[in-house]
Structure 1
Amino acid sequence: MPHDLPKAYDPTAIEDHWAEYWVREKLFAQPTPSEQESNDGQSSFTILLPPPNVTGNLHMGHMFEHTESDILIRWHRMRGDRVLWIPGTDHAGIATQMLVERQITAEGTTRQQMGREKFIERVWEWRRHYGGAILGQMKRLGASVDWNREYFTMDERLSVAVREAFVRLHEQGLIYRGAYIVNWCPRCQTAISDLEVVYDEHKGHLWEIRYPVIGDDGKDTGEFLTVATTRPETMLGDVAVAVHPADERYKHLHGKKLRLPLVGREIPVITDEWVSPEFGTGAVKVTPAHDPNDFALGQRHDLPSINVMDDTAHINAEGGVYAGLDRFVARKKIVADLEEMSLLAGIKDHVNNVGHCDRCKTVVEPRLSLQWFVKIQPLADKAIAAVKEGHIKFTPEMYAKTYLNWMENIHDWCISRQLWWGHRIPAWHCAACHKTTVAREDPTKCAHCGADKLTQSTDVLDTWFSSGLLPVSVFGWPNITAENRADFDAFYPTSLLVTGFDILFFWVARMIMLGCWFSTDVPMKDGSERPLSESVPYREVYIHALVRDANREKMSKTKGNVVDPIEIVKQYGTDAVRFTLASMASPGTDIAFNIARTEGYRAFANKIWNAARFLFMNVDRAAEIGISVDMAALSGMPAAGSDAPLESRWIVAELTATATTVNQALENYRFDDAANAIYQFFWGSFCDWYLEIVKLSLDFSENADKARTKASLTTLVSVFEASLRLLSPFMPFLTEEIWHALYDGNPPSKSIALTRFPHAYNEPVDAKALREMSLLQELIVEVRGLRKEIGVEEKAVVPVEVRIDADLKQVISENLAIVERMARVSEVRFVDQISAGLAKHSTSQFDVAVIYERKIDVAAERDKLDKEIAKLEKIIANSERQLNNPGFTAKAPAHIVEGLKKQRDDAQQLLDKLRRDLDSLPPE
């Protein structure tokens, strides 16, 4: 029964095959559970994939997020949970429209020339051809999602949910339309949220402008009130100048009129405590249509609003002679005109935080605009309670405070966008009575006056409105009935959201608000009212860190430091990249992605591959003499009886301890601890130690002890198979390939991903085996070090002297073969005192010396001992200082104090030995 693995590990030769196999066989599909299955007590673990933009390609942040999610999903599946990971893409209103507009511009046309209907058809066509790129990349990288449940936020069933949510909120008085200051992107020609504005520091100016004071006779008095502004072009829309009521400089001007320079309009001087006397000149121009603070001030003082810019940020007719000019061109001309008229008092350098559209990087213009808003506070109350009452847990915990702080200071949500691509707002304006009808079905008549001249709103909804509904909409809301609620009952609330901090407010908060608000409509399975604890969209939020470059700088195309995961995967394989990301994924700590580490984990994969080849070679050799392993007994945790050789008991104990560590680490989202534990076990314990030791027991000669060989081979195979299952969530491709080869193409399951994850289940670890092997390893390492120090040839076998306590001597005596093989020792001589003149190493448990003809350098040995003694004296002094400090011993955990005592005692024991060794050295 030969087991074939190519000599060289080549990830490109296996990854495409398994990626295609997993999708073709629908291995990760999770069907709707039946009534009986729903009551079987099986735990559900559900993750909703943060939907990447339909326009996107996989970047390193995506791969990091997907790696963490996939590890958790595979781990839970292998633990026996009912697992569901739902994939999908977001229609990405602004980004998609921009992309398609660029295409049609290159063809010599515009969306306005095409018309809305044809433009939308063109976007759908683009989506059909290119919109699945990122999901295709996910399939190639092995994400174990349920592709049967793939969604797109513009799908018909999800669109029904979006429309229902809008109408219902409107009926509840929680959606309204009004004119407010919004962030306007002149390039995208739409309102964008505060969260979609990126602020950068720019060196700008503060222009001080003289506004002539008008006397009671209506003529200029010759006096000026000087205001300071960073945006002189907006002065064309000024309706007042505000000063602080207590500012003595301007008390004589209260209630006076000013003449607006360049425009000639008379505007009042008003007083308001909001004005800071310390900023600029202490007098502030008031432009309610172009500044959020001015808008609020205008509302308080019943001032008009004059919008002086069009959708493209060009001055409109309200700007008089400046009409048609771009805002920044107008700024230069206005400043020049003011200077010519001697109305420019001064220009000062000023560092400004300038907002840019996150999509197209255009400078955002605060602009008065008629928009649709969600009255957020009632929704926010539930979302705040969900976290405060512990129904949703954040990891790291600090993000709960960040979330609550934002939610408790949240403003109403502007949900309308002036785009064509997206969910069109279901509101119709009546030409007769000028009122608005909001409806679930397209109306034919006005709900207010009955007229039939209705025009639907041209706006679409903010993308985050639809994606915020996903946790309820993907499970059938709002059309959940007694007959079709199995999915909702089984998988809502979802278990976990894995996402980045950058969308904490964009998406995480929106989902919590909308999920808690709308899921309460769905009663519990027993018909009772759904409590808040069961209304949340997920029970935990894990906020992962950012992936930065090797110098810990944020990746950006401008810096040229972007790492393309697809290219790295082609070079090193998916498993190596996944393991790199996992090994560095500590909660709250950004990842400095270093290709050198990926090279190291590529070597790790190669090490496992070679270990498999060694194992297969021995399985096949055993078969030739009639020894076989019962492969049907390999599904659980390996075991080794008390009469088994030390190496068998030890490797099983190591595996058990590692499995416990990995399970605990994953429960706490410590992907780094889990990955590093697996790495240390597989590379160190299994490959470097066990595989070498077990060769002593694998005898296939005619006179072999077949029972011993079979027992050792069974332990070897069972530990290796369990190790593959332990590694599988981290390196799914490599483990799948080797696992199938191990079973010679006849495995017990279709995939290793459908087997059981190793778990100790509270079984005690064989601590005695661990202690005994630790002693042997320490002895072997010291002998190896001595050999190197005194220049023993690599292949030479030499005797050693060992001074050790009687109770430990037996461990070495019973396992001499291991010491002899691993340290190239011909004989172990137990002595009461190491012979004079021999180079030796000392530990707290033994002294060891290599017997070799080469004489030791007494001076060098004395110098070495002096340094080791000084080092130990320092350790003892530091330990004593801490242990003699009552403040430390009172506050420190007991295990820390005990650890310090042990460190001190071991160091003291070794120090006494080294001092004796120093005294026993012959004179130089």
Structure 2
Amino acid sequence: ENAGKYEGMDRFEARKAMVKDLEDQGYMLKVDPIVHSVGHSERTGVQVEARLSTQWFVKMKPLAESALKNQETDDRVNFIPGRFEHTFTQWMENIHDWVISRQLWWGHRIPAWYNKKTGEVYVGMEAPKDAENWEQDKDVLDTWFSSALWPFSTMGWPDTDSADFKRYFPTNTLVTGYDIIFFWVSRMIFQSLEFTGKAPFRNVLLHGLIRDEQGRKMSKSLGNGIDPMDVIKKYGVDALRWFLITGSTPGQDIRFSYTKMDAAWNFINKIWNASRYVIMNLGDMPAPVLPEKSKWDLADRWILSRLNATVKQVNAQFEKFEFGEAGRALYNFIWNDFCDWYIEMTKEKLNNGTAEEQANTKNILGYVLDQILKLMHPIMPFVTEKLWQSMPHDGKSIMVAKYPVAHDEFDDDTATEQMSHLIELITAVRNIRNQANAPMSKPVDLIIKVENDHLAEMFEANKDYIDRFCHPEKLIIGTDVETPKLALSGILTGAEVDIPMAELVDLDEERARMKKEIANLEKEVQRSEKKLGNENFVKNAPEKVVEEERTKAKEWQQKLDAAKDRLASLQDA
């Protein structure tokens, strides 16, 4: 401990002094410059040098063997994604004894004392009774040793009879980053097994790191860190939560993006505006109650069926911790099905329907909004609470309201199929009008040529929707109708829609457009054929998935045939 004349000198100055002393005393025989790697402190940039010292270790082999053995029992820890269990196993199989003492100013003191007179070492949970004769070790425990005690020490351990310990230990799911599987997760597992005889949790959900827009890890040295409080101040905490929860995949890194934050904010704004519209129409009515099923029209049956499918998908994806997939299902249902279609379809009944139709529509609108807000609440807690409190509801808080569950009686494949035909028709007509620069105010004739009477009857039964969304001056529906050559056309599933526009149609442009449509359809047909021609897909995929692909292939082929027929008629024009 006594460095003599070098005592107290800076290490670099001491080295220079030593070299000079060796040279002055004739002991320096030779100096050879060498190039080697020198570690530097991540925080200060100062050179780090190894120094031999006495440390405390934990013998790891028996603890690691216990952790590995436990993975073969019903008490095993499930890693999500599953590939990270291999990482855990590798570390346990190749473990080294763990040095647990640290030379820091803070932390749990090492529970070791040295007798001032005899040098005897005492280790225990409590200090020796004759404390004046003992000196406690100045080192502290490795922070990961202390944090590994967290799952059970916070529940009252070592008092295993405490109410918290009995109720909450083991816990259900730990959420943490994949970069500390070894540092924290593995140590919680083997310490819990050692001290309680049980694994600390059932699941470990491992998320990735948040990187900057260039994919770099955020760090002080790069100066690319983003303060989440700044993001919250600009976009709100719900938008940030939506981006983080739905924009990531378990175990994968995520790049922060202001463009995606803008999209998250826009989505919340869409929900807010749609909710305010519904709430305005609900007025001071009681909490929504679904009317009898016999009073649901096609749009009602469809939106409730789509809601039910979304509830099933969201709950299934949440169970698998696939929050991104759950978010996509919610986004598509809320933005497309509910906002863009169902709300628009209810406006006619709300404005011009009978009192009963208005009441039924309000109740269904309110019910669907209530379910949407509850589905979104775990991800967007603040916006959904505010909106739910503003609408007719039962209960004190959405936070303790019953989470949506699926209702099999809502499933309606017929309504889903019929509405898909109507949406496809309306979308095609809108595209044609846009292409021809013919606004909705311009009267046009609408000719719908269908392949079978069943589809014709469906369009006839839903003329109200066609009138509202397509605004035809004259509507013709049938299986044997004459298709005008000077018209703009849209190819639908099992049908073709034509809008005669002799004065607007450029035949060359229409032929070119139809050729482009044929090329796109041929790609879809080839994709389906390739997929169905793959024996592994047909053999291993669920029967429902294979059947859905066969149906798609048939529809693509029908559309392709219709497009070719339409092009042939244009070639003769």
Contact 1:800 1:849 in 2 (8 A): yes
Paired residue for 1:707?
356
2:412 to 766, 773, 778: 766
Equivalent in the alignment of 2:63: 379
- Partners of 2:416 and 2:561 lie apart in 1 by 27
What SS class does the counterpart of residue 50 from structure 2 fall into?
Answer: strand
Aligned to 1:910: 559
1:330, distance to aligned residue in structure 2 (A): 2.6
Give me the whole-angstrom Cα distance separating, in 2, the residues matched to 1:837 and 1:597: 44
* 1:410-809 matches, cutoff 5 A: 410-445=95-130, 453-481=133-161, 485-520=162-197, 535-620=198-283, 628=285, 630-631=286-287, 641-699=293-351, 705-743=354-392, 747-760=393-406, 765-804=411-450, 805-809=452-456
Give the partner amino acid of 2:133: K
CA distance in 2, matches of 1:407, 1:474: 26
Pairing 1:343–2:6 present? no
Contact 2:291 2:360 in 1 (8 A): no
Q: Give me the TM-score of the superposition, normalised by structure 1.
A: 0.58
TM superposition shift of 1:563? 1.3
Distance, in Å, in 2 between the alignment partners of 1:342 and 1:502 is: 48
| C-alpha displacement of 1:768 | 1.3
- Higher RCO (CA 8 Å, separation ≥ 6 residues): 1
Contact 1:421/1:460 (8 A) holds in 2: yes
1:816 maps to 2:456? no
CA deviations over 1:487-514 (Å, ceiling 9, x no partner):
2222111001000122222211111111
| Secondary structure class of the residue paired with 1:856 | coil
Mapping of residues 305-384 of structure 1, within 5 Å: 317=3, 324-327=9-12, 330=15, 343-344=30-31, 347=34, 349=35, 352=37, 354-357=38-41, 360-384=44-68
Paired residue type of 2:241? R
Distance change >3 Å, CA 454–CA 784, structure 1 → 2: same
Q: What SS does the corresponding residue of 1:587 show, helix, strand or coil?
A: coil
Give the Cα–Cα distance (whole angstroms) in 2 for the partners of residues 649 and 851 of structure 1. 33
Cα deviation, 1:32-51, whole Å, max 9, x if unaligned, reads xxxxxxxxxxxxxxxxxxxx
Tell me which residue corresponds to 1:869.
518
> What is the deviation of 1:839?
1.2
- 4+ long deviations beyond 6 Å: 320-323, 335-340
Go from structure 1 to structure 2 and tell me whether the alpha carbon gap of 1:876 and 1:693 turns closer, same or farther (over 3 Å shift). Answer: closer
Q: Deviations over 1:563-598 (max 9, x none)?
A: 111011011111111111112121122111111111
Amino acid in structure 2 at the alignment position of 1:577:
L
Aligned to 2:54, the other structure's residue is in SS state strand
Q: Distance in 1 between matches of 2:498 and 2:522?
A: 23
2-structure distance, mates of 1:415, 1:821: 74
Percent identity between the two aligned chains: 37
Q: In the alignment, which residue of structure 2 is the partner of 1:921?
A: 570
Equivalent in the alignment of 1:407 = 92
- Compared with structure 1, are the counterparts of its residues 325 and 437 closer, same or farther at alpha carbon in structure 2 (3 Å cutoff)? same
Structure 1 residue 879 displacement after superposition: 4.5
CA deviations on 1:812-832 (whole Å, 9 max, x unpaired) are: 222222122223334421142
CA contact (8 A) 2:178 2:208 kept: yes
Matches of 1:710 and 1:846 in 2, distance apart?
Answer: 35
Cα distance in 2, alignment partners of residues 761 and 648 from structure 1 = 15
Q: Sort the Cα spacing of 1:479 and 1:856 in 2 relative to 1 into closer, same or farther, 3 A.
A: same
1:794 CA drift (Å): 4.4
Deviations 1:136-192, CA, capped at 9 Å, x for gaps = xxxxxxxxxxxxxxxxxxxxxxxxxxxxxxxxxxxxxxxxxxxxxxxxxxxxxxxxx
Q: Contact conserved, 1:692 with 1:822, CA < 8 A, in 2?
A: no
Mapped to 1, the partners of 2:140 and 2:375 lie a distance apart of 48
Q: Secondary structure, in 3 states, of the residue corresponding to 1:839? A: strand
* Deviation of 1:853 (Å): 5.2
Shift of residue 321 of structure 1? 7.4
Please give the per-residue CA displacement for 1:373-430, whole angstroms capped at 9, x wherever unaligned: 2222222222222234361010111111111111222222222222342222232211
Q: What residue is the counterpart of 2:475 in the other structure?
A: 828
In 2, distance between residues paired with 1:344 and 1:570? 60
Q: What secondary structure does 1:605 align onto?
A: helix
Distance 1:458 1:886, change over 3 A: closer
Say if 1:751 and 1:849 are closer, same or farther in 2 by CA, change over 3 A: same
Q: Does the CA contact (< 8 Å) of 2:22 and 2:28 recur in 1?
A: yes
Residues 1:699 and 1:872: Cα distance change in structure 2 (over 3 Å): closer
Contact 1:580–1:597 at 8 Å: present in 2 too?
yes
TM-score scaled by structure 2? 0.91
1:346-365, Cα deviation, whole Å (9 max, x unpaired): 64x55x3x544555554432
What per-residue deviation string (whole Å, max 9, x for no partner) do you get for residues 866-916 of structure 1? 333344344444554565566775566655654554444323322222222
Q: Which amino acid aligns with 1:848?
A: V
Equivalent residues of 1:800, 1:827 under 8 A apart: yes
AA in 2 matched with 1:416: S
CA distance in 2, matches of 1:830, 1:332: 102
Q: How does 1:220-231 map to 2 (within 5 A)?
A: none
Closer, same or farther: CA 838–365 of 1 in aligned 2, 3 Å: same
After superposition, the Cα gap between the structure-2 partners of 1:692 and 1:640, relative to the gap in structure 1 and judged at 3 Å, is farther
Query: Take 2:367 and 2:542, find their aligned partners in 1: how far apart are those partners?
Result: 39
Contact 1:444 1:454 in 2 (8 A): no
1:544–1:332 distance in 2 versus 1, CA, 3 Å: farther
The structure with more radius of gyration: 1
CA gap 1:363/1:513 in 2 versus in 1, 3 angstroms: farther
Offset from partner CA, 1:255-283 (integer Å, 9 cap, x none): xxxxxxxxxxxxxxxxxxxxxxxxxxxxx
8 Å contact kept, 2:488–2:505: yes
Relative distance call for 1:825 and 1:558 in structure 2 (3 A) is farther
> Aligned pair in 2 of structure 1 residues 486, 580: CA closer, same or farther (>3 Å)?
same
Give the residue type in structure 1 aligned to 2:150: L
Long gaps (5+) in structure 1:
1-309, 311-315, 447-451, 521-534
Distance change >3 Å, CA 764–CA 646, structure 1 → 2: closer
Deviations 1:626-661 (A, max 9, x none): xx4x41x65xxx676144111111111111111111
CA spacing shift, 1:459–1:729, aligned 2, 3 Å: same
Q: Alignment RMSD, CA only? A: 2.9
Q: Which amino acid aligns with 1:317?
A: A
Cα distance in structure 2, aligned partners of 1:639 and 1:386: 53
- In 1, the alpha carbon distance for the partners of 2:16 and 2:301 equals 81
Deviates more, 1:402-411 or 1:413-422: 413-422
Structure 1 residues 371 and 854, CA gap change in structure 2 (3 angstroms): same
